[in-house]
């Protein structure tokens, strides 16, 4: 299983995980990041190219999978960003309270076992004026598609390191201490429909 997670899975994500409709959303939302950035679940580093180096001073790249980090290193060398990799899972962000200006998560909240701990951790490290940029797949609105999602979920869960396609991302973000500022959703890839309903947007930390 370790060989799959560190070699085959990173290759699979790198090969299949960034079709044109998803690239277009990345191009729209990732440049909204500014200041000191925490990216949770960097994966193969495809977001690096979309950060604006004139407005981003540093990126903390959280990624526990060594195979993913090897791929992300290749993308890092193609940018002028100041990137520091953090070898920790999403539930254990090794940063101080209120230490980052922007948090970014793309196709990560679906795989983290303790997803609420991760979201609360993101809330903890964000400054009160900070922004959370998210782009995730999750529970579709139609009952018929939801049935297919629940039936087929073991497949992406096995192929994509614990991926859940039945999480309602907006509810999780709100429960984790955020006020959603902007959100869009829809099917970005035609097949398989039950795995491709996505949410993307921005959120602000709620006052404590």
d(CA 155, CA 162): 9
Q: Helices 9-16 and 66-76: crossing angle, nearest 10°?
A: 40
* pLDDT tens for each residue of 152-184: 888 777 766 668 889 999 999 999 999 999 999
Identify the CATH assignment for 2-205 out of 3.40.50.1370, 3.40.50.150, 3.40.50.300, 1.20.1250.20: 3.40.50.150
Which backbone phi and psi does 165 adopt, to 5 degrees?
Answer: -100, 10
Which backbone phi and psi does 40 adopt, to 5 degrees?
Answer: -95, 120
* pLDDT tens for each residue of 127-137: 999 999 999 98
Instruction: Quote the pTM value.
Output: 0.91
Q: How many helices (H) and strands (E) does the chain have?
A: 8, 7
Mean pLDDT (whole number) for 66-81:
87
DSSP 28-49: HHGGG--EEEEEE--TT-TTGG
Token output for 117 = 């701990």
Domain ranges of the chain: 2-205
Do 35 and 14 meet the contact criterion of CB atoms below 8 Å apart? no
């Amino acid at each position: 299983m370790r060989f799959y997670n560190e070699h085959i899975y990173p290759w699979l994500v790198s090969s299949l995980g960034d079709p044109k409709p998803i690239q277009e959303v990345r191009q729209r939302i990732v440049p909204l990041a500014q200041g000191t950035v925490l990216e949770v679940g960097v994966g193969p580093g495809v977001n690096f190219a979309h950060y604006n180096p004139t407005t981003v001073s540093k990126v903390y790249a959280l990624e526990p999978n060594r195979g993913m980090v090897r791929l992300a290193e290749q993308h890092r060398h193609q940018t002028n960003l100041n990137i520091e990799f953090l070898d920790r899972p999403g539930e254990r962000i090794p940063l101080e309270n209120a230490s980052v200006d922007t948090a970014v998560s793309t196709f990560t909240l679906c795989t983290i076992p303790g997803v609420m701990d991760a979201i609360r951790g993101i809330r903890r490290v964000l400054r009160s004026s900070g922004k959370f940029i998210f782009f995730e797949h999750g529970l579709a609105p139609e009952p018929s598609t939801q049935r297919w999602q629940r039936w087929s979920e073991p497949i992406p869960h096995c192929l994509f390191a614990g991926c859940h396609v039945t999480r309602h991302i907006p509810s999780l973000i709100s429960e984790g201490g955020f006020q959603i500022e902007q959100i869009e959703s829809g099917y970005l890839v035609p097949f398989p429909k039950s795995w491709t309903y996505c949410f993307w947007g921005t959120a602000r930390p709620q006052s404590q």
